[in-house]
Structure 1
Amino acid sequence: MLKRTEKGEDAIHNRVYDLSQEKRWVLILVDSKTYVSDIFNKCSDQWSPIKDLLELEQDGFISNSVSSEPISSSLLLQQKLVAEVKKFIPENYEKAVNKIHNSQLDSASLKKAVNSSCMYINLTISQDIAKQLKSRLTQLIDMNS
């Protein structure tokens, strides 16, 4: 989950910074209660919420409320995990991917999401694929911790 900094709150309430409509909307969605995946779901398909979130963090408007890791590295890791799931399971990966998208961005939450995704894959697709995928995803998380 993400939170607005003092500068971010100031930008929302006083409009003292020249933010694009898209960035302002993304900043409004950041409220310390909303998951990154929810922000993506609420944004228009033409927008680039990842880019906006990274720029808002870089400019000091938001920060990671769960850990001290920068949002950029957490989002990048989450995207890598999703890409790996899609690589291992070219079709019908939505439920497994959603578990990762809906997790918080800290390593412990991502590991829980990976475990849940792999349990789902084990039950619906293949035990071997689930085992290989869990090993690969856990390795990615550990490399980024």
Structure 2
Amino acid sequence: MKKLLLPYFVFEIIFVVFFLSEYSFFILFFEILFSAIIGYILITKFGVLNITKNLTKISPSIVFGNLGLAISGMLLMVPGILSDSVGVLIIFVSLIMKIIKKDRDKFNNTQNNTYNYTKNDEVIDVEIIEEGENLWKK
């Protein structure tokens, strides 16, 4: 695990140095603060606990959509440019998954209709009675 964290910290420091050379420390501070606030909002709204409430309705798009937003919220709360960039990328992927799910559900009828319609469903059985005919004397 330590071997995986060391390259991350090196790349994060490189990204922060490049960001500071282009912008100021003041902008970096507000970027970290703003991303932490957005990350907190994403975790509270789309957290992992919200996914477990609807276990009967789980589909891949729901899991990747909501879980992706929760993971991106965690990444946005970690201070740094690299983690924020990956978090924003995951937000875009999760929102695309949600849009695809909405479009798929709009055209996919999941209701089970067992009534079979035929050509004769609109036929009405009618008995024609003559005016001069007495109905009671047959």
TM-score, normalised by the number of residues in structure 2: 0.31
**Which is higher, the Rg of structure 1 or of structure 2?**
2
| Greater helix content | 2
TM-score, normalised by the number of residues in structure 1: 0.30
| Greater strand content | 1
